[in-house]
Amino acid sequence: MTLDTLALRQALNKTPGAQTDGLDTVHTLLCRREAPAFQRAAKASSASGDELLVACTQESRLFLELNEQTEGAASISERPIRFVNLRETAGWSRDTASTTPKMAALLAVAQLPAPVPVATASYQSAGRCLVVGPAAAAEQAAALLEDKLDVSVLVSGSRNGSGTGMAQVHGRATHSGSLTSLTGWLGHFEARWTSSNPIDLDLCTRCNACVDACPEGAIGLDYQVNLDACKSHRDCVRVCDAAGAIDFQRQPLEQDDHFDLVLDLREMPAFTQHQLPQGYLHLPPLQQADSKGLMAAVLQLREMVGEFEKPRFFRYQHKLCAHSRNEQIGCTACIDVCSAKAIRSDASRKSKAKGELSGGVIVEPHLCVGCGACSTVCPSGAMTFGYPGPEDMGRRLRTALTAYSHAGGRHAALLLHSEQAGSRLVDALGRAARSGKSVQGLPARVLPLAVWHTASVGIDLWLAALAQGASQVWVLLTDEEAPEYRQALTEQMAVAQAVMTGLGYSGQHFQLLQASDTASLPALDAALRAPAAATVARPSGFAAQSDKRATLELAIEHLMAQAPKVADTIPLPAAGSPFGTLLVDSQRCTLCLSCVSACPEAALADNPDKPQLRFIEKNCVQCGLCASTCPEDAITLQPRLWLADSGKARKQARVLAEMEPYRCIRCSKPFGTLLAIENMITKLAGHAAFQGAGADRLKMCGDCRVIDLHSNPNEVRITDL
C-alpha cells in the first residue's frame, strides 16, 4: 500500500471535525510486531479522552483484546474504538498510487460522531414454539428443540394416512390439521388451524391398535386416516381404548393459539412477503434433506428466548402524508414498496384537531426490517429513515466529498453498498486485485460508503451529493434486496437522471450495479471503470435537512445555478416523480374546490375574492388525491420540473381555473359559479320539489332562499315531502 501521511494530514486538517493525531508514522505490521504502538495509542487516547481510530478491520478482534490487556487503557464501554478498512477499499487496487484522496475521505467519515440514538421496538419471547409440517419432519425438529423450548406440533401436509414418523412417546402437545392463518412476529404469533381428521392426536395414546385393526391399511404411523382408502368398517373405533380419540362424526374443528416462534416445514410458507417476520423460519422439504439447513434453523430458534430490541427505523409525520383524505386514496408508494408488509392503509383515520377523515398509514415497527425504501419513495417526506437520519447520512456524504476534494481528488463516484453482503463484495474485489487476478480493484475515484440498507438513501441525498461535487452516485445491489426495492431505486434514478440531463450535465450520473458472489466480480470491476460524468464547477456546502423536500430544493437550486443550460421545463417519468403540475379541464371543472380540501401539501388553494383555483407547483408531490377526489374527473397529473424565471415561478401561486360567478336572481350577490349552478339545475330539473318557485330558489343565494321560503308560508317545502 502507498501511504502519504503528509497529504493525508493536510487534507484532514482542512476537513471540519477530522483529527490527524497519529498520522506521523506508517505502520506495516501494527497488529503483530508493532503492537506496542497500538497500546501506546490506546493509553494516550484514554488520557486525552479522544476516540481511537484503527485503519484495519481484519484484526479488529485482536486490537480489542490488546486494549483490554493494556494497563491504563480505557475499556471499549468507556471509550469506543472505531475501525475503518483502507486496505481492500483503497490500498489493494491497481490505482494504489493515487488513492490518497480516497483514504482521506474514508478516514474523515470514520471520525464522524455516531448518529443520534433512535427509539427501539421490543420483543419478548418465552420460547413457545410451533412446529408445523409433515409428521416425520415435525417430530425430528421438535426433538431437537424441546430441551430448550416449549414445543407444540401441528401435523400438516402429510400424505393423508400413509405418513410415518410420529413419536411413540406422547411428550408434547400435538395437533393435526391445516394451518389457515398465521399472523404476528417474534413473541406475538397467532396461529389458526382447522382439524378435520377423525383421529385427535392430542387424545391418541399411540398404542397402534387402530393401525393393526384397519383392514385397508388406511391408518399410518402418523395416526391420520386416509379417508379415500377407508371403507367405513370402523374396526379402529372398536379397538381404540382412548375415549373420543377416533370420531368419524366429528365436525371440522377450528382452533387457535399464541406462540413466540414458528418453524414452518411445509412446501409453501405461511407468509408471502420477501422479508419474513422475525421469529418465523421457513424450511421447505428440499432444504430439510440437508441436515445443515435443519440444524441452522434449530440453532437460530434456540437462541430466540428472552427480551430483544431493535431500532425503530422510521419516523412518520402524519400531517405530511399524502396517502388519503376523506377515504379517497392518493399516494400508496410506501405500502407498495414495503417488502415486509409492515405498512398498511389507515384511510378512515380522523384528524384530532378538525375531526375530519384525514387518512394516513400505519407502520408496525415489529415487522419493519429497516430497509428505508418507504422513505426513498415517499414524495412528501412524511416517511423518514431514522437509522441514521437524513441529516447524519448527508453529513457522511458531504464529509467524504470535502476531504476527497481537499486532498486533490476529482470526479468522485460514491458507491453505496450494504454493511453486510455489499461490504463482503467490496472486500473480495480488493483481495482479488491484490492476488493478481483479472480485476483491478476499486478505482481511486470510487468512494465506497456502507449504509444500513441500500434502499434507505434516495433522490434527495443523491442530488445533494452531486451538488456538493460528486460526479456519480452508484448503488451496489446484492441478493439481499427485494424486487420491490430494485424497482423503486430504478424509478427514482430515472427521475434524478432526467433532472441532471435537463440541466445540461452530460454523462450517466446514477446507476444500479448488480453483484451476488465472487463470480460476478469481473463484471462489477468493469462497471466501476465507467467514465466520469459532468460535475458542478463550484461544489455547494449546504447541509442535508431532516425535511426531504427542503434538501431537494437546496440541491436543485445549486445544480441550476451551476448548470450548463437551464430549460424552462424538464419532463420527468411518471413513475416515482415527486414534482409536477396539474392540468384542469375547464369544460368539466365547476370550481367546487373539493380538490383544495383534499390536497395535503397546500399546493391547491382558492381565492376568497373570486372563483379561482390556484396552484403552487413547488408544493405538489403528485400524490393524485386531487384527481381521485374531483367529482368531475377534471384533473390530470403531469410530472415535470418547472424552472421558468430561474425557478421562481414554481414557488408562486398561479391560476389553474377560473370562471364567472353566478349571481343571485334576487339580490345579485355572487354565490357560486355559473357552471356549478347550471349543472345543479339540470340534475334537479325532474324533482317535484324544484318546480316553479322551487326552481327559482336554486338560483338564489342562501339568505334570499330563506327569505323567499318564509314569504310563502303555505307552499310545500322540501322538509315536508
pLDDT of residue 707: 84
**Residue 713 pLDDT level (bands cut at 50, 70, 90):** low
Distance CA 488, CA 698 (A): 51
Is 580:637 a contact under the CB 8 Å cutoff?
yes
Q: What is the pLDDT of residues 273-329, one digit of tens each?
A: 999 999 999 999 888 877 788 999 999 999 999 999 999 999 999 999 999 988 899
Question: Three-class SS string for 4-38?
Answer: CHHHHHHHHHCCCCCCCCCCCCCCCCCCCCCHHHH
CA 433-438-444 angle, 5° bins: 45
pLDDT of residue 287: 82
| Same domain, yes or no: 328 and 299 | no
Distance CA 431, CA 437 (A): 9
| Same domain, yes or no: 192 and 155 | yes
In a domain, 55, yes or no: no
- Residue given cell 415486509 in the structure block: 340
103 has pLDDT over 90:
yes
Is 27:36 a contact under the CB 8 Å cutoff?
no
pLDDT of residue 158: 52
Q: What percent of the chain has pLDDT over 70?
A: 96
Is 73:414 a contact under the CB 8 Å cutoff?
no
In a domain, 331, yes or no: yes
pLDDT of residue 665: 85
Distance from the Cα of residue 437 to its chain's centroid: 37
The three cell numbers of residue 604 are 391547491
Distance CA 81, CA 300 (A): 29
Distance CA 5, CA 24 (A): 7
pLDDT of residue 564: 93
Distance CA 599, CA 324 (A): 9
Among 309, 334, 359, residue at a domain's last position: 309
pLDDT of residue 166: 66
557 vs 697 pLDDT, higher one:
557
| Same domain, yes or no: 243 and 373 | no
A 10 A CB-CB count for 412 gives: 26
Domain total of the chain: 5
Q: What is the mean pLDDT of residues 8-29?
A: 82
Burial class (CB in 10 A: 0-12, 13-18, 19+), 156: buried
Strands 635-642 vs 569-571: parallel, antiparallel or unpaired = antiparallel
Distance CA 184, CA 179 (A): 14
Among 309, 326, 347, residue at a domain's last position: 309
Q: What is the mean pLDDT of residues 436-452?
A: 93
In a domain, 710, yes or no: yes
Count CA within 13 A, CB hemisphere, residue 327: 1
Read out DSSP for 338-350? -TT--EEE-TTPB
Is 586:424 a contact under the CB 8 Å cutoff?
no
In a domain, 53, yes or no: no
Instruction: Single out the residue of 381, 371, 344 nearest to residue 544, CA to CA.
Output: 381
Q: What is the mean pLDDT of residues 223-239?
A: 86
Distance CA 251, CA 230 (A): 18
CATH label of the domain that carries residue 227: 3.50.50
pLDDT of residue 169: 66
Burial class (CB in 10 A: 0-12, 13-18, 19+), 168: exposed
Q: In the 8-state DSSP scheme, what is residue 246?
A: B
57 has pLDDT over 80:
yes
Q: How far is CA 596 from CA 291, 333, 361, 600, 620, in A?
A: 62, 22, 21, 9, 12
| Same domain, yes or no: 607 and 681 | no
pLDDT of residue 702: 81
| Same domain, yes or no: 335 and 454 | no
Q: To the nearest whole number, what is the mean pLDDT of the chain? A: 90
Dihedral class, residue 235 (left if φ above 0, else alpha if ψ from -120 to 50, else beta): alpha
| Same domain, yes or no: 626 and 693 | no
Instruction: Single out the residue of 357, 157, 140, 149 nearest to residue 261, CA to CA.
Output: 149
Burial class (CB in 10 A: 0-12, 13-18, 19+), 14: middle
Q: What is the mean pLDDT of residues 578-607?
A: 93
Q: What is the mean pLDDT of residues 504-512?
A: 97
Q: What percent of the chain has pLDDT over 90?
A: 62
In a domain, 403, yes or no: yes
Q: What is the pLDDT of residues 382-400, one digit of tens each?
A: 999 998 999 999 999 999 9
A 10 A CB-CB count for 355 gives: 8
Is 470:401 a contact under the CB 8 Å cutoff?
yes
Identity of residue 502: G
In a domain, 467, yes or no: yes
Burial class (CB in 10 A: 0-12, 13-18, 19+), 641: buried
| Same domain, yes or no: 253 and 296 | yes
Does residue 497 sit in helix, strand or coil? helix
Distance CA 89, CA 103 (A): 9
**Residue 21 pLDDT level (bands cut at 50, 70, 90):** confident
| Same domain, yes or no: 181 and 302 | yes
CA 334-336-341 angle, 5° bins: 85
Instruction: Single out the residue of 217, 144, 215, 206 nearest to residue 176, CA to CA.
Output: 206
632 has pLDDT over 50:
yes
Q: What is the pLDDT of residues 404-431, one digit of tens each?
A: 999 999 999 999 999 999 999 999 999 9
pLDDT of residue 672: 75
pLDDT of residue 164: 56
361 has pLDDT over 90:
yes
Domain extent, residue 619, equals 579-658
Q: What is the mean pLDDT of residues 100-125?
A: 93
| Same domain, yes or no: 652 and 697 | no
| Same domain, yes or no: 360 and 413 | no
Q: What is the mean pLDDT of residues 573-588?
A: 94
CA quadruple 259, 261, 262, 263: dihedral positive or negative?
Answer: negative
> Which of 41-45, 355-359, 698-702 comes out lowest in average pLDDT?
355-359
In a domain, 56, yes or no: no
Q: E strands along 216-357, which residues?
A: 253-259, 261-264, 280-282, 306-311, 314-316, 324-325, 328-329, 343-345
Q: What is the pLDDT of residues 118-137, one digit of tens each?
A: 899 999 999 999 999 988 88
Is 396:449 a contact under the CB 8 Å cutoff?
yes
Is 132:265 a contact under the CB 8 Å cutoff?
yes
A 10 A CB-CB count for 68 gives: 11
The three cell numbers of residue 291 are 441436515
Q: What is the pLDDT of residues 188-222, one digit of tens each?
A: 999 999 987 888 877 888 888 998 999 988 888 87
| Same domain, yes or no: 345 and 457 | no
| Same domain, yes or no: 626 and 527 | no
The three cell numbers of residue 99 are 488513492
**Residue 684 pLDDT level (bands cut at 50, 70, 90):** confident
CATH label of the domain that carries residue 642: 3.30.70.3270
Distance CA 551, CA 257 (A): 48
**Residue 500 pLDDT level (bands cut at 50, 70, 90):** very high
Largest interatomic CA distance in the chain: 110
pLDDT of residue 165: 60
pLDDT of residue 357: 64
**Residue 487 pLDDT level (bands cut at 50, 70, 90):** very high
Q: What is the mean pLDDT of residues 619-626?
A: 96
Q: What is the pLDDT of residues 688-712, one digit of tens each?
A: 778 877 788 888 888 898 888 887 7
pLDDT of residue 23: 77
Q: What is the pLDDT of residues 644-672, one digit of tens each?
A: 999 999 999 999 998 878 888 888 888 77
Among 622, 637, 658, residue at a domain's last position: 658
Q: What is the pTM of this model?
A: 0.86
256 has pLDDT over 70:
yes
Distance CA 149, CA 304 (A): 9
Torsion angle of the four alpha carbons 414, 415, 420, 422, in this order, in degrees rounded to the nearest 10 = -170
113 has pLDDT over 70:
yes
Does residue 330 sit in helix, strand or coil? coil
Which secondary structure element, helix H or strand E, spans residue 424, and what is its range? helix 421-434
In a domain, 708, yes or no: yes
230 vs 488 pLDDT, higher one:
488
